[in-house]
Structure 1
């Protein structure tokens, strides 16, 4: 059984006044007690070895004094619970105040029963150290389990987030690569089409230039031919004009000769 220290306050100025108890008449007993301190350091199944510390106030002194006593008697209420009371010192004190021995023992037994009942009620109101330690251990185990679960949950959540982040990063990189490939492909296609159009336009311009040159040369030849024809026609006209003039002149001269 664990070590348990329990302080039972009975009141500094509180006294138990017994006027008629066990056939005692005109006897008043005041038992001043500040508190009782029980140190249950050793507990054996069939026997107890307890040390009792009592704190009491003296009529001749204004201060409290600690009194360490080895218990001289053990009184049992039942077979399950034992309470230690220094009955011998209490009986001696009552006898010193003029109380008969039997009455002193009866008073001591009654006070012991009252203290036993009070301590039992107080003991029932509190939790034992073993139960408290057990509850603390359970709470610590639950807290440790909760911390472990929380840490595992955080690690799993963090791992899941990292996995999702890596997946998103890979998807973004894949989309970026595909987009870059499509842009390069579109740029190359447009460049090829532009080069083809440029070559086609150059070929058309070359064809048009060749046709224009051919037409120019042909036109020049036609012009030269027309000039030659005009020159030839001119000479023919002059020749015919001269012949016509000579003929007309001859005819005129002939006519003049006839009429002359």
Structure 2
């Protein structure tokens, strides 16, 4: 598009150069004064040589003025045509710039939509990954809780078994102690009875 703009500007410059050349030819081909009439009037006051010199100076001055003016002025039709062509060129340039802006805006909008879509996909993927990790963590936590409950139940059973064994041992020890007490009491009763019998026998012997 930049190359197209450069071509349009160069075409405008060429048209201006052509217009300047046409104006110069126009002014050079136009006779502003009737030099014969002027020469006759000058010869009334000056000599022929002086009149020709004055006319030559006037022609050169007018020629120089025309050349100077032709560099800066243009005919009305040419200026109108050039102005119209420039308006057309600038209208085309404006349309191209607007089209380029719309195309650039469309590209930016497409890029924005693509980035937004990618972010949405990334967001969904991240959400799915977080959900999966949470589910896995909850499953692991549930399994760990189940394992801890199983171990706790196992230990509770073992503790109950140990408590039962201790209670049984205590009962056995009590029974053994009671049995020993009974035997001791029987032994003491026998000793006491024998002692009492000996004492009675001794008393009888004495008496």
- The answer to whether the superposition gives a TM-score over 0.5 is yes
Aligned to 1:183: 130
Give the CA deviation at 1:239: 0.5
Higher share of residues assigned helix: 2
Q: Which structure has the larger Rg?
A: 1
Aligned to 2:120: 173
Q: Establish whether residue 149 from structure 1 lines up as the match of residue 85 from structure 2.
A: no
Give the CA deviation at 1:134: 2.7
Aligned to 1:34: none
1:125-159: per-residue Cα shift (whole Å, max 9, x none)? 52112320232133113202211221121012111
Matches within 5 A, 1:10-159: 80-81=29-30, 124=70, 126-159=73-106
What is the aligned length?
Answer: 163
1:186-220: per-residue Cα shift (whole Å, max 9, x none)? 21111112111211121122112211221222222
| Aligned counterpart for 1:244 among listed residues 170, 191, 195 | 191
Separation in structure 2 between the aligned mates of residue 231 and residue 205 of structure 1, nearest angstrom: 38
Runs of 5+ unmatched residues, structure 1:
1-78, 86-102, 108-113
1:216-247: per-residue Cα shift (whole Å, max 9, x none)? 22222222222221221111111100111122
Aligned to 2:19: none
Higher share of residues assigned strand: 1
Runs of 5+ unmatched residues, structure 2:
1-27, 42-57
Question: TM-score w.r.t. structure 1 length?
Answer: 0.52
